[in-house]
Structure 1
Amino acid sequence: MIRSRISWDSGQWTTVPISVTETKEGQYLKVESREGSDYWEKTLYGFQRDSGHSLLTRWEKDTAMEVTFQLQSFTELYDQAGIMLMNAPGQWIKAGIEINDGIPQLAVVVTQGYSDWSLAPVPEWVGENVTIRASRMNDAVIIRARTEMHPWRTLRVAPFPINTASQAGPFICSPTRSGLHVTFTRWVMTDPDSDIHVDPSTED
């Protein structure tokens, strides 16, 4: 099984956060977002936002990527973090945790010129470390999530062009406030899913 840790310095920020600090001898990455940072394309609200903070590296078509982060600091409306999958301007997917209605929600936004938005509440995940996984299969991406205490949940199967030089990595946004700090604890490249109905391994 392939499982390779990705170093934080191998990625490039789309928008530089207020602060980025490596902790535990470089094992963790603590990031502070800028107020108003967000990603969105037109749908419902009409506006376009491309000011979120994504740390991106090349993502090969025959691999999966996982990002893990601590959930303790999420308190305000739309606080969010997770994984960004980037094809091109206006063609991207973000998946992670987002605060809505006062509780953490598993949130996925798929954007092809226009954005959509899906939510699933997970109040029982408060205080845990969340892992978001994206795996490419044929012309699609399978997005899943878990914590140390809760098993994999399949969130979305979405179109994702197979022959593109895509990028992916951790992201953080705080559309409504300053002062959001998120600690990312893990960023790995690993084997792709073998099947939509087979859970990936949770071993490191």
Structure 2
Amino acid sequence: MTDLKWLNPPENVTQDGDVLRVTTGDKTDFWRGTFYSIYRDNGHFLHQRVEGDFTAEVSVGGDYRVLYDQAGLMIRLSESHWIKAGIEHTDGKNYFSVVVTNNMSDWSLVEVPGATTDIRIRLTRHAEAIRVQYYNPLEETFVPVRLAYFPPTVAVDVGMMCCSPQRSGFEATFKGFRVGEAISRDLHG
């Protein structure tokens, strides 16, 4: 993790091997406009620059207690073009959440069977498409959640993201972050 850079570094970060613990700042988020009329680009994002197609994975956990507490992966081209995916606390539950932002943000949620902490997340870039998946330990397979458009470019930033739009002090844990070759383009087994 020594080659990674922060966008909006948090005040409190600890690392033990491949485990990273982050405590969020006050009212941090990544969001652009839609429904809430809020524009925020102050969430915490630890990333690296990656060229071409790739697959990024990380396991995320956290002390999800307050509305919109979130932790996961992010792919970012600019303030107005990014995707974040991970666990988000909404309506008293933890969901797998995906926000795709191409100038304006959209948001989708899916219930995750079983435990909703220490969930493995996978983002894969195939040219202009980003495939979003999470690992379901009950079925021992990655579950597809979204296939989203993302502007084709030579390189993007990819890494770990966490936010707490309603408070400060959300504690997120990331384990086993890695970026490697893109998995197969086959969508169906």
TM-score (norm 1): 0.86
Following the alignment from structure 1 to structure 2, what is the Cα–Cα distance between the partners of residues 94 and 175? 14
The yes-or-no answer on 1:189 pairing with 2:183 is no
Tell me the residue number matched to 2:120.
Answer: 131
Shift of 1:174: 0.6
CA contact (8 A) 2:18 2:177 kept: no
**Greater strand share, structure number:** 2
Following the alignment from structure 1 to structure 2, what is the Cα–Cα distance between the partners of residues 109 and 169? 15
Correspondent of 2:9 among 8, 11, 16: 16
Amino acid at match of 2:119: V
Residues 1:195 and 1:165: Cα distance change in structure 2 (over 3 Å): closer
Task: Name the SS of the counterpart of 2:105 in structure 1.
Answer: coil
Shift of 1:198: 4.6
Task: Name the SS of the counterpart of 1:161 in structure 2.
Answer: coil
Correspondent of 1:33 among 24, 48, 58: 24
CA contact (8 A) 2:119 2:135 kept: yes
Task: Name the SS of the counterpart of 1:117 in structure 2.
Answer: strand
Tell me the residue number matched to 1:80.
Answer: 70
Amino acid at match of 2:128: D
CA contact (8 A) 1:69 1:186 kept: no
Following the alignment from structure 1 to structure 2, what is the Cα–Cα distance between the partners of residues 162 and 193? 18
Amino acid at match of 1:88: S
Shift of 1:63: 1.5
* Correspondence list, 1:137-148, <5 A: 137-148=126-137
* Correspondence list, 1:111-130, <5 A: 111-122=101-112, 124-126=114-116, 128-130=117-119
Following the alignment from structure 2 to structure 1, what is the Cα–Cα distance between the partners of residues 174 and 127? 29
The yes-or-no answer on 1:68 pairing with 2:59 is yes
Identical-pair percentage: 36
Residues 1:113 and 1:147: Cα distance change in structure 2 (over 3 Å): same
* Runs of 4 or more above 4 Å deviation: 147-150
| Structure 1 residue ranges without an equivalent (≥5) | 1-6, 200-204
Shift of 1:147: 4.8
The yes-or-no answer on 1:53 pairing with 2:20 is no
Following the alignment from structure 1 to structure 2, what is the Cα–Cα distance between the partners of residues 176 and 192? 35
Tell me the residue number matched to 1:4.
Answer: none
Residues 1:196 and 1:48: Cα distance change in structure 2 (over 3 Å): farther
CA RMSD of aligned residues (A): 1.7
Following the alignment from structure 2 to structure 1, what is the Cα–Cα distance between the partners of residues 137 and 159? 20
